[in-house]
């Protein structure tokens, strides 16, 4: 007997994008900073859409260092969650549009986060990409960088450690 026909790629892609939208729309702080995500295949790029309220130094002007840190952290957490939930979203086991309605979905918690500021963030859109260096059962280590006009000239980079969601102990 023939194997069941794989689902059309478009359906799988729709699930991925619906899950990303649900996360971005569901977290007030991500909306506050107006961060969106651009997915191409398995690559995820965070986009910080520029707004005057993100300015930290009005004289230069430059993005607030805290905004840069938050943008890097959001990108790191979403990329990490993404790799962690990916198979369950793709298979349709998780309802992609209702991530926060599902009790079994929990996000990694930041343990520590270290940001290096390389140059000032210009008053325009910024992009970020995170790389999961290690994903263990309890801890994950993530590296993330952000750039504006030229990917080869990042304006900040960071590394962070995260505590992965732990299975709830069995109730007696």
Partner 1 sequence: MAGILKIARQFIEAIPHANALGLELTKIGNGEAEITMSYNEALIGDPRTGVIHGGAISTMLDTCCGAAVMSHPFAPSSTATIDLRIDYMRAATPGQTITTRATCYHITRNVAFVRATASDEDQENPVATASGAFTVEGK
Alpha-carbon distances, residue 105 vs 31, 99, 139, 158 (angstroms)? 20, 7, 17, 26
Does residue 44 touch partner 1 according to CB under 8 A?
no
Among 13, 17, 53, 124, binds partner 1 (CB under 8 A): 53
CB atoms inside a 10 Å sphere around CB 67: 20
Work out how close the CB of 172 gets to partner 1 at its nearest, in angstroms, rounded to a whole number. 25
Q: Which is nearer to partner 1, 36 or 110 (CB)?
A: 110
Structure-block tokens of residue 77: 């957490």
Alpha-carbon distances, residue 17 vs 95, 104, 108, 164 (angstroms)? 12, 20, 20, 23
Among 16, 19, 20, 73, binds partner 1 (CB under 8 A): 73
Across-strand partners of 158?
A: 115, 144
Number of residues that bind partner 1 (CB under 8 A): 36
Does residue 71 touch partner 1 according to CB under 8 A?
yes
Does residue 57 touch partner 1 according to CB under 8 A?
yes
Q: Which long-range contacts (CB under 8 A, 24 or more apart) does 99-102 make?
A: 99/19, 99/22, 99/23, 99/26, 100/22, 100/26
Among 12, 69, 132, 135, binds partner 1 (CB under 8 A): 69
> Which residues inside 100-159 make contact with partner 1, applying CB under 8 A?
100, 107, 109-117, 120
Work out how close the CB of 34 gets to partner 1 at its nearest, in angstroms, rounded to a whole number. 11
Structure-block tokens of residue 107: 């996000």
Contact 134, 140 (CB under 8 A): yes
Work out how close the CB of 93 gets to partner 1 at its nearest, in angstroms, rounded to a whole number. 20
| Contact set with partner 1 (CB under 8 A) | 26-33, 52-58, 64-67, 69-71, 73-74, 100, 107, 109-117, 120
């Amino acid at each position: 007997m023939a194997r069941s026909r794989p689902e059309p790629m478009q359906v799988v892609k729709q699930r991925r994008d619906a899950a990303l939208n649900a996360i971005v729309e569901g977290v007030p702080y991500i909306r506050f900073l107006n961060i969106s995500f651009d997915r191409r295949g398995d690559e995820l790029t965070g986009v910080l859409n520029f707004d005057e309220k993100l300015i930290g130094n009005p004289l230069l002007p430059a993005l607030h260092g805290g905004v840069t840190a938050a943008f890097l952290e959001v990108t790191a957490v979403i990329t990490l969650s993404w790799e962690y939930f990916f198979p369950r979203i793709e298979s349709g086991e998780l309802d992609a549009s209702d991530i926060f309605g599902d009790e079994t979905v929990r996000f990694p918690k930041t343990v520590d986060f270290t940001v290096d500021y390389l140059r000032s963030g210009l008053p325009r859109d910024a992009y970020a990409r995170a790389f999961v260096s290690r994903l263990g059962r309890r801890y994950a280590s993530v590296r993330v960088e952000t750039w504006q006009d030229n990917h080869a000239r990042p304006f900040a980079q960071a590394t962070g450690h995260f505590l992965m969601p732990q299975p709830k102990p069995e109730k007696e």
